[in-house]
Amino acid sequence: MTSSAGDTGVLHLVEDEKSLEWVLKTGPHSPYIALLYPEYFTREIIYQFRDSGRVNGVLMMREKGANSTSLTSFSTDSSCPNDAFGIYNATSPKRCQKWNAPGNSLLFENLPFPIFFMNNETESEKLIKCYDSFNRPVNGTARSWPLCASQLKSFMLAAINTPTCLRRSAVFNMNPGAAKVCDPLGDQNIVASLLPKNATQSYSDNSIIVVAARMDGASLFDEISPAADSSISGLVTVLSIMKHLGKVREQDQLGSGSSLKNVYFMLFNGEAFGYIGSSRIVYDMGEHKFPISLSNIRYFIEVNQAAASLSNDSYFIHQSELSQSKELTDLLQKNGQQLNLNLTLPKSTKLGLPPSSLHSFLKERADLTGIVITNHEEEYKNKFYNEIFDDEEKIGYIYGDKSVFSVQQNIAGLSAALTNSLLELLGAPPSSHVLPDLDTVDELLHCYLESANCSIFRELLGQNQAPKAHATYVGVVHSPTSLSVVTSLVASLYVGSLVENITVADECWKLQKEKHYFWMNGSCYDTTLINATEALSPAFLLDNYDWASGKYSTWTESIWQKLTVRIFIKPSKLHEIMTLSSGIVVLVLSMVLVRTIGGARLLAVSSKSDSHDGHEWTREQL
């Protein structure tokens, strides 16, 4: 964050060790705004900037050159994401496996200067041009004034920590509508049931299957969190499963002889910040405010980081050592093999459960049989976890590419293998088995990664959308994000039921509140089975919650003013002093001159008035 007026400094491009030394020690024109490429945005260099006292801000640009692949890793999340909120205590060797090896934790650091990302290549070129024209040293010698400078402004109201900013918000909010200082992170979870549940119906223990994924991503920079592998790959896999099972249900092929009675799909929000969404659902289950309870769940199947695009890529089935199921893993592997998909158990027995929403459930029920399916065995295959470069390019996605080793092929195959496993668990006949749906996976990836103005989203919303992907950052709790809203609609399309006797939009909308009808894709759908639940950490619901306990996520976001970056030509200090002094002298002289002229005019008016009074003609004199 910055001061209310913003932080200013002379631009200097950090592109090698010499230019870094210039900013930290030898440059004569500090404070500086460091201009750099991602390869120089490391924890060590940022700490050096902080400790030098010579840096007022950082401007990071995109990789050099169009579609550059020189950057091999970049993640400001922790190397052990969410380890404080998992099932392993602080002394367990499994608590921190460094799953996210490139992670430098800068996402969670409180730094004394602002950091901005210049996503627009044209704007970055302007900065470089200004630096080259005015600032770049000549033969190791500093340029003389004027110099190219920049002002960064990101003033925020909150301070210190969550308890402090909430307390200040309470003080400032004595009157309704008063400004807050910070807001809790939160959005909404999407929960969908494959089959309806009657008001009087209750599920027995171990009779429900949960299929889960996370929706949200994160990054150090506002509004840029593509989360292609971090969350979108798993989300698209589960949405594809929903479509498969919805079609089988409509064909009445689910069967009824199994002890497993239903499938609940759970799409969690806020997972990047201490499992906000999943911890809230578990809390609601314990408070009997959820359709099912923890004891009802037989299997918990989570898809997490599912992007794979090579012929030798495998998916890995991770389990907690306390809740393993050979029956389930054998079934998944069998259905994977039938589709030429390799589903493998990790070789090492020393590995713990990777960061996943399953942790929230196991914390309250350690014997729950749960698995997490990922594209990595040990450390993340995704070297850009929860960061701005975790995009479609990094996972090898090309819209329309449905070749045998494409990311679409692998995700569609995984979705089909999981669907067929679920069908067998539900007692459905072999004839109900599905094949990979590449078209749906391809279009969903395009919608979530490249453009919200895609065919699926346009049909659901009935109008054109912005030609860019929705941000995946969870946001604050007051209003749902566009990502969660549109995902709820996709779930309604795939698991909702078509109302065939209503063909007019107005008739459908009239029954929206009464029967949860929703008009989309040119038809009326009954969306009773799809619900949005609040994804707000239980910490903000409990009176006298112990903020130091670490049981629940307590992340909040500061209220902040508009973020701005401006560049300008800055003269020398002497020139500024001379300009200021000249201005003061001119001001003083102007005030003296105005006072002198004003006094002379008043004297002249007074003299004229006296002369007029002495020669006034009267009617009698005339």
Q: What is the pLDDT of residues 14-39, one digit of tens each?
A: 999 999 999 999 999 999 999 999 99
Residue-wise pLDDT for 329-372, tens only, equals 999 999 999 999 999 999 987 889 999 999 999 999 999 999 99
Q: What is the architecture, at CATH level 2, of domain 186-536?
A: 3-Layer(aba) Sandwich (3.40)
pLDDT at 382 over 90: yes
Which structure tokens are listed for 552?
Answer: 């629940």
pLDDT of residue 154: 87
pLDDT band at 65 (very low <50, low <70, confident <90, very high): low
What is the secondary structure of 357-377 as a DSSP string? THHHHHTT-TT-EEEEEES-S
Q: Between vectors from CA 346 to CA 343 and to CA 348, what angle results, nearest 5°?
A: 165
Its pTM stands at 0.91
Which structure tokens are listed for 542?
Answer: 């409990």
Place of tokens 């995700």: 411
pLDDT > 70 in the chain, percent: 92
pLDDT of residue 172: 63
Angle between helices 407-425 and 233-250 (to 10 degrees): 50
Helix (H) or strand (E) holding 531: strand 530-536
Residue-wise pLDDT for 471-509, tens only, equals 999 999 888 999 999 999 999 999 999 999 999 999 999
Which structure tokens are listed for 521?
Answer: 């894709």
Among 420-429, 467-476, 586-595, which is the least confidently predicted range?
A: 586-595
pLDDT at 433 over 70: yes
Taking residues 511-536, report their average pLDDT: 94
Taking residues 64-84, report their average pLDDT: 84
pLDDT of residue 616: 45
pLDDT band at 614 (very low <50, low <70, confident <90, very high): very low
With CA atoms as reference, report the closest residue to 54 among 24, 28, 17.
24
pLDDT at 323 over 50: yes
By the 10 Å C-beta count (0-12 exposed, 13-18 middle, 19+ buried), 47 is classed as middle
By the 10 Å C-beta count (0-12 exposed, 13-18 middle, 19+ buried), 362 is classed as buried
With CA atoms as reference, report the closest residue to 305 among 356, 241, 239, 374.
374
pLDDT of residue 1: 59
Residue-wise pLDDT for 225-235, tens only, equals 999 999 999 99
pLDDT of residue 385: 98
Residue-wise pLDDT for 196-205, tens only, equals 987 667 899 9
pLDDT of residue 605: 57
Read off the amino acid at residue 179. Answer: A
Taking residues 396-401, report their average pLDDT: 95
CB count in 10 Å sphere of residue 206: 15
Q: Is the bond into 31 cis (omega within 30 degrees of 0)? A: yes
pLDDT of residue 284: 98
pLDDT of residue 575: 64
Taking residues 541-562, report their average pLDDT: 91
CB count in 10 Å sphere of residue 265: 24
pLDDT > 90 in the chain, percent: 74
Residue-wise pLDDT for 147-197, tens only, equals 999 999 988 876 678 988 888 877 766 555 556 788 999 999 999 999 998
pLDDT band at 70 (very low <50, low <70, confident <90, very high): confident
Taking residues 137-144, report their average pLDDT: 94
pLDDT band at 419 (very low <50, low <70, confident <90, very high): very high
Tell me how far apart the alpha carbons of residues 592 and 596 are, in angstroms, rounded to a whole number: 6
pLDDT at 57 over 80: yes
Instruction: Return residue ranges of the chain for CATH 3.40.630.
Output: 186-536
pLDDT at 68 over 60: no
pLDDT of residue 223: 86
